[in-house]
């Protein structure tokens, strides 16, 4: 049976290859998207029993300053004293830990590089259950007092890249933001902290914050400065509810007895809210990250690839069905020789299993290529911070998907092909009895489903493309072309505010002298990079009501800032040199900076146009991927449609010849084929459109400047598909019109 | 019982033939050369004749029939139908000439399985732009004439072979062709059924329809009045049956 199945596939090698290629495309795209989906939304942290981790949140009013990053919004941060109180008196968890991200300038053996660092509490690694790759990890003993733990743990990749994986690195000294830290160990290879999408190179004790971030005021005893993210590990068999009750009893006590009395001036209603605040516990197996807000887009893209895979399945089912029809006589003969229907169906299914296996194997390179494409259109931070490969889970997914497709595309044809009526076959009417109305109808139904699916995918891709175009057309209020931006952080290198001002001044002067540079300006907040700096402010001669929100976004900018960006001022004038009070300034080119201070690393050197594009990278990603997948789907549907029609013409050669003999004109036969495809389109397209409108409504939040049922987009999708359908029908229709009647009538 | 008639021996008073073939040849390219299916065919058929083309398998009978039926235009020589050329004209022109004058009956019946008996009868009319009302009337008349009214809503697979061929003959004549070409019309039937079909054809001929059939069965040929024998693409004999 095994040999027979292989021989059958080999006999129609061309068709087998076409099916394997289609399967590889469908499975490859789906596997790639699943790999991304799995990495972002499914894969737990590489730590011990990740399902026992919970992330702590602290919603409610916060009176003071807050610094939150990509690990979560400002509802998820605690003040340092509160975190330490909870940690010290914790009975709710087996252990709890805190962390916060920081920017580091790392100097080692005379070279300076920018890096992301993670400030972590002493129990961090212990709570996670992570073991060192080299040396040791941090422990509570590393945090005797604030600012006294001059130790650092390297990430595995940094140890590899920066130290050539030299075990001798442990014990050496590294200068981080001007502080000499002793390397005590290396984290395990797959561990990058608990913030998804961030790959810190360094882990430094939390209590070192004010040495690592020298520009920040010391807040180790300030209960109104919020910046620590916290997580805990449930005890075995402890429920989240039990832990919540326990930690909140503790939290409520500290809030009411210690913190509430400090909030003098807080309006009574707000104070009441403050006293009632409670800690929330969220599942922490995946770690913490704001970047997971992309789940809608990823789910959508995964759904899109599944639709592509369904189209592939329909194509293959259709082709196998056609082959089954051709083999009706063979099946009947086998049946007459004693083969049971189950055995015959089993043989056909076995062929499908071979196809699926070959397709699954061939899908791996397709998946890898798709991932490469994904990274090619992703912004730098995605490329730097994520490793997405076709892992074990993805391969398992591909195997399951392949098995699913076998059932989908192999079963129906197997059942149809083995249904042959022995008598009629022996009389030479196999093609009629097996390939009669029901089989042809089923194949037409499959093609109709493909048209519907393609309509959905084309409409969705159109919506996202149009949305992206709308985003690109948004007036940013400035001219971002020919604008290059970069950042330097001299304060991290120990520059005083005065020296920083001088440095910026000098950089600006020297860059202005570089040929081709027309204007130079600096600001404290990076342009259009989705960053902000908030602070309370007051305006002279303007009184504030008590409790009024005086928080405002601000950026400190240099003279000529508005001129440089071509931003027209509504009133007044641009800053001039006369306005300088020693504010931080900056601008341009690595060589210039290196000439001024070779130890000062340049970060984020890019064009502002690129920054703008990276701001909307998700829209771009969705538009490009959905567009690509829709194009692939439409092409596959066209191939499927062509196959159905072409086979139908071949099957109907006798009928077509007969019709010609009875007086039909070639035009009438062309029309007959076109009518067939027209009927499929007339049914498939409205169904697809209805589904597209429903889906468009569902993804409305992802669209910019248009609604999910945008008539222009839907019309364009339908027009595209009509052209594709007509194209797919053209050759079969032409072939039908060219059938030679006498040959056709002898055709069996 | 029969006499061989040579073409040049035809009396000059004979009316203009419905069909006149002159030096018709047909070949296919084969292994770098040509394989001949028909050689120097010269033939005249008068309106109202009942002709049987006989010969062994592969002798070229069916090819000749398809040329006569204007389904095949790829041949050498001349073919005049009613004084009009069917050679050297466009496929469209030849198809039009065929559509106006020729009806077909096939060995395998070639009814469309997806259509009912009535719908099968309707096909030739639908290709001749006959108005729906008239088509319905002609179909009804034909069902009546062939005594198959009770089977009009059945599908071909629900009929016996003889009944299917009966429908096929009805379909061949429904558009009132001047000539019916029948390719082994009884070849797939047992003799009793075949005899009934031949009776039908004889009746049609008696009513004025020219019949040209291909057969290798003398009993079938006996229903006609002239036999043309073909072997290896050549006409061997052309005899009248008395």
Per residue, what are the HEC states of A267-308?
A: CHHHHHHHHCCCCEEEECCCCECHHHHHHHHHHHHHHHHHHH
Quote ipTM for the complex. Answer: 0.75
More confident residue, A479 or A18: A18
Tokens of A459: 């409409």
Inter-chain contact A742–B123, Cβ cutoff 8 Å? no
Query: Would you call A483 helix, strand, or coil by DSSP?
Result: coil
Sign of the C-alpha dihedral computed for residues A577, A582, A587 and A593 taken in this order? positive
Closest CA to A457 of A254, A644, A696: A696
Domain extents in chain A: 1-43+296-435, 50-285, 452-473+609-748, 490-530+552-600
Number of Cβ atoms within 10 Å of the Cβ of A17: 13
Inter-chain contact B110–A745, Cβ cutoff 8 Å? yes
Distance separating alpha carbons of residues B168 and A186, to the nearest angstrom: 89
The pLDDT value recorded for residue A650 is: 80
**Confidence class of residue A137 from pLDDT cuts 50, 70 and 90?**
very high
For residue range B82-129, list pLDDT tens digits in order. 999 999 999 889 888 988 999 989 888 888 887 899 999 998 898 888
Closest CA to A483 of A510, A523, A521: A521
Cβ contacts of A274 within 8 Å, gap of 6 or more: A60, A61, A63, A255, A259, A260, A263, A266
Q: What is the pTM of this model?
A: 0.70
Per residue, what are the HEC states of B15-36?
A: CCCCEEEEEEEEEEEECCEEEE
Sorted by where each starts, the structural domains of chain B and their CATH numbers stand as: 49-73+99-240 (3.40.50.300)
DSSP string covering B99-142: HHHEEEE-TT----TTS-HHHHHHHHHHTTT--HHHHHHHHHHH
Would the pLDDT of A323 be above 90?
Answer: no
Inter-chain contact B95–A740, Cβ cutoff 8 Å? no
**Confidence class of residue A303 from pLDDT cuts 50, 70 and 90?**
confident
Residue B171 at interface with chain A, using a CB cutoff of 8 Å: yes
The pLDDT value recorded for residue A425 is: 46
Inter-chain contact A665–B114, Cβ cutoff 8 Å? no
**Cα A465 off chain centre by:** 17
Distance separating alpha carbons of residues A125 and A146, to the nearest angstrom: 19
**Confidence class of residue A652 from pLDDT cuts 50, 70 and 90?**
confident
Residues of B in contact with A658 (CB under 8 A): 106, 110, 112
Considering only A410-414, A689-693, B136-140, which range has the smallest mean pLDDT?
A410-414
Give percent above pLDDT 70 in chain B. 94
The pLDDT value recorded for residue A39 is: 84
Mean pLDDT by 10 residues, chain B (242 residues): 44 77 91 88 95 91 89 91 93 88 88 88 88 94 92 92 91 93 89 91 94 92 95 93 82
Query: Would you call A555 helix, strand, or coil by DSSP?
Result: coil
Residue B157 at interface with chain A, using a CB cutoff of 8 Å: yes
The B residues from 37 to 66 touching A (CB cutoff 8 Å) are 62-63, 66
Helix (H) or strand (E) holding A690: helix A666-698
Distance separating alpha carbons of residues A194 and B225, to the nearest angstrom: 100
Would you give the end-to-end CA distance of chain A in angstroms? 28
**Cα A712 off chain centre by:** 28
Q: Which residue of A has its CA nearest to B174?
A: A662
Distance separating alpha carbons of residues A149 and A535, to the nearest angstrom: 31
Residue A664 at interface with chain B, using a CB cutoff of 8 Å: yes
For residue range A211-241, list pLDDT tens digits in order. 888 777 788 888 888 899 999 999 998 999 9
**Confidence class of residue A56 from pLDDT cuts 50, 70 and 90?**
very high
Distances (CA, A) of A426 to A418, A421, A422, B110: 15, 9, 6, 18
Residues of B in contact with A653 (CB under 8 A): none
More confident residue, A197 or A164: A164
Considering only A102-111, A207-216, A416-425, B61-70, which range has the smallest mean pLDDT?
A416-425
Inter-chain contact B71–A664, Cβ cutoff 8 Å? no
Residue B178 at interface with chain A, using a CB cutoff of 8 Å: no
Residues of B in contact with A436 (CB under 8 A): 113
pLDDT (mean) for A24-38:
89
DSSP one-letter code for A39: I
Q: Which residue of B has its CA nearest to A432?
A: B113
Query: Would you call A119 helix, strand, or coil by DSSP?
Result: strand
For residue range A473-528, list pLDDT tens digits in order. 777 777 766 777 777 777 777 777 778 888 888 888 887 777 777 778 777 766 66
In degrees and rounded to multiples of 5, residue A69 shows phi and psi of -130, -150
In degrees and rounded to multiples of 5, residue B29 shows phi and psi of -70, 135
Contact A706, A713 (CB under 8 A): yes
More confident residue, A555 or A621: A621
Q: Which span out of A46-55, A281-290, A314-323, A581-590 was modeled with the highest average pLDDT?
A: A46-55
Distance separating alpha carbons of residues A9 and A17, to the nearest angstrom: 9
In degrees and rounded to multiples of 5, residue A714 shows phi and psi of -65, -40
């Amino acid at each position: 049976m095994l040999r027979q199945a292989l021989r059958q596939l080999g006999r129609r090698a061309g068709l087998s290859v076409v099916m394997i290629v289609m399967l590889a495309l469908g499975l490859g795209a789906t596997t790639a998207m699943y790999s991304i989906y799995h990495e972002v939304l499914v894969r737990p942290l590489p730590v011990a029993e990740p399902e026992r981790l919970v992330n702590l949140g602290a919603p409610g009013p916060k009176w003071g300053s807050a610094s939150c990053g990509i690990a979560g919004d400002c509802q998820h941060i605690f003040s340092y004293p509160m975190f330490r109180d909870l940690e010290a008196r914790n009975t709710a968890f087996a252990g709890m830990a805190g962390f916060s991200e920081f920017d580091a300038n790392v100097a080692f053996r005379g070279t300076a590089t920018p890096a992301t660092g993670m400030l972590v509490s002493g129990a961090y690694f212990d709570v996670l259950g992570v073991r060192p790759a080299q040396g040791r990890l941090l422990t509570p003993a590393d945090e005797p007092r604030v600012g006294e733990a001059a130790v650092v743990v390297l990430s595995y990749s940094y140890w590899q890249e920066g130290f050539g994986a030299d075990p001798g690195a442990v014990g050496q000294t590294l200068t981080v933001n001007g502080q000499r830290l002793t390397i005590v160990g290396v984290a395990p290879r797959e561990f990058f902290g608990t913030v998804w999408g961030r790959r810190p190179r360094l882990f430094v004790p939390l209590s070192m914050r004010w040495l690592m971030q020298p520009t920040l005021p010391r807040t180790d005893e300030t209960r109104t400065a919020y910046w620590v993210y916290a997580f805990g590990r449930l005890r075995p068999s402890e429920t989240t509810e039990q832990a919540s009750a326990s930690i909140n009893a503790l939290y409520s006590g500290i809030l009411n007895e210690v913190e509430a009395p400090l909030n003098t001036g807080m309006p009574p209603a707000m104070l009441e809210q403050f006293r009632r605040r409670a800690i929330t516990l969220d599942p922490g197996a995946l770690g913490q990250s704001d970047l997971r807000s992309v789940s809608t887009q990823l789910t959508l893209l995964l759904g899109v690839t599944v639709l592509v895979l369904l189209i592939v399945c329909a194509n293959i089912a259709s082709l196998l069905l056609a082959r089954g029809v051709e083999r009706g006589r063979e099946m009947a003969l086998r049946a007459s020789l004693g083969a049971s229907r189950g055995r015959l169906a089993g043989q056909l299914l076995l062929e499908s299993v071979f196809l699926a296996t070959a397709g699954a194997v061939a899908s791996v390179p397709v998946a890898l290529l798709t991932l490469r494409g994904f990274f090619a259109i992703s912004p730098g931070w995605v490329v730097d911070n994520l490793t997405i490969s076709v892992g074990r889970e993805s391969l398992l997914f591909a195997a399951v998907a392949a098995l699913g497709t076998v059932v989908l595309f192999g079963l129906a044809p197997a059942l149809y092909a083995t249904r042959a009526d022995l008598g009629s076959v022996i009389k030479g009417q196999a093609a009629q009895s097996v390939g009669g109305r029901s089989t042809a109808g089923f194949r037409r139904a499959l093609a109709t489903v493909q048209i519907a699916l393609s309509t959905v995918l084309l409409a969705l891709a159109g919506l996202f493309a149009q949305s992206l175009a709308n985003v690109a057309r948004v007036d940013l209020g400035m001219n971002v072309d020919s604008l290059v931006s970069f950042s330097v952080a001299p304060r991290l290198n120990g520059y005083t505010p005065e020296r920083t001002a001088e440095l910026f001044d000098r950089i600006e002067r020297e860059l202005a002298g570089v040929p081709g540079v027309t204007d130079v300006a600096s600001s404290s907040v990076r342009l259009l990079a989705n960053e902000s700096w908030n602070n309370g402010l007051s305006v002279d001669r303007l009184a504030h009501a008590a409790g009024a929100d005086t928080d405002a976004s601000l950026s400190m900018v240099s003279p000529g800032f508005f001129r440089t960006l071509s931003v027209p001022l509504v009133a007044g004038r641009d800053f001039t040199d006369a306005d300088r009070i020693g504010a931080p300034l900056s601008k341009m080119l690595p060589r210039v900076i290196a000439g001024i201070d070779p130890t000062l690393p340049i970060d984020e050197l890019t064009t502002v146009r690129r920054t703008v594009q990276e701001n909307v990278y998700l829209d771009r990603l969705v538009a490009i991927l959905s567009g690509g997948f829709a194009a692939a789907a439409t092409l596959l549907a066209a191939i499927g449609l062509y196959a159905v029609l072409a086979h139908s013409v071949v099957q109907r050669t006798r009928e077509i010849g007969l019709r010609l003999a009875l007086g039909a004109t070639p035009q009438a036969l062309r029309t007959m084929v076109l009518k067939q495809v027209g009927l499929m389109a007339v049914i498939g397209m409205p169904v697809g459109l209805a589904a597209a409108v429903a889906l468009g409504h569902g993804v409305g939040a992802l669209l910019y400047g248009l609604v999910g049922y945008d008539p222009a987009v839907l019309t364009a999708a339908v027009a595209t598909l009509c052209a594709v359908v007509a194209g797919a029908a053209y050759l079969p229709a032409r072939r039908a019109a060219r059938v030679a009647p006498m040959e056709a009538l002898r055709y069996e | 019982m029969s006499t061989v008639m040579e073409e040049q021996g035809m009396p000059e008073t004979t009316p203009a033939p419905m069909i006149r073939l002159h030096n018709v040849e047909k070949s296919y390219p084969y292994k770098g050369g040509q394989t001949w299916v028909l050689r120097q065919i010269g033939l005249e058929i008068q309106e109202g004749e009942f002709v049987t083309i006989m010969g062994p398998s592969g002798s070229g009978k069916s090819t000749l029939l398809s040329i006569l039926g204007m389904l095949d235009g790829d041949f050498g020589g001349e073919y005049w139908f009613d004084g009009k050329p069917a050679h050297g004209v466009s496929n469209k022109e030849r198809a039009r000439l065929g559509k106006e004058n020729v009806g077909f009956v096939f060995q395998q019946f070639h009814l469309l399985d997806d259509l009912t008996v009535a719908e099968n009868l309707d096909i030739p009319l639908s290709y001749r732009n006959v108005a729906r009302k008239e088509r319905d009337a002609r179909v009804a008349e034909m069902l009546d004439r062939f005594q198959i009214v009770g089977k009009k809503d059945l599908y071909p697979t629900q009929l016996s072979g003889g009944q299917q061929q009966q429908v096929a003959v009805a379909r061949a004549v429904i558009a009132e062709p001047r000539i019916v070409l029948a390719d082994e019309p009884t070849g797939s039937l047992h003799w009793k059924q075949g005899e009934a079909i031949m009776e039908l054809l004889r009746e049609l001929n008696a009513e004025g329809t020219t019949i040209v059939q291909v057969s290798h069965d003398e009993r079938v040929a006996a229903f006609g009045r002239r036999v043309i024998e073909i072997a290896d693409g050549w006409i061997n004999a052309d005899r009248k049956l008395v």
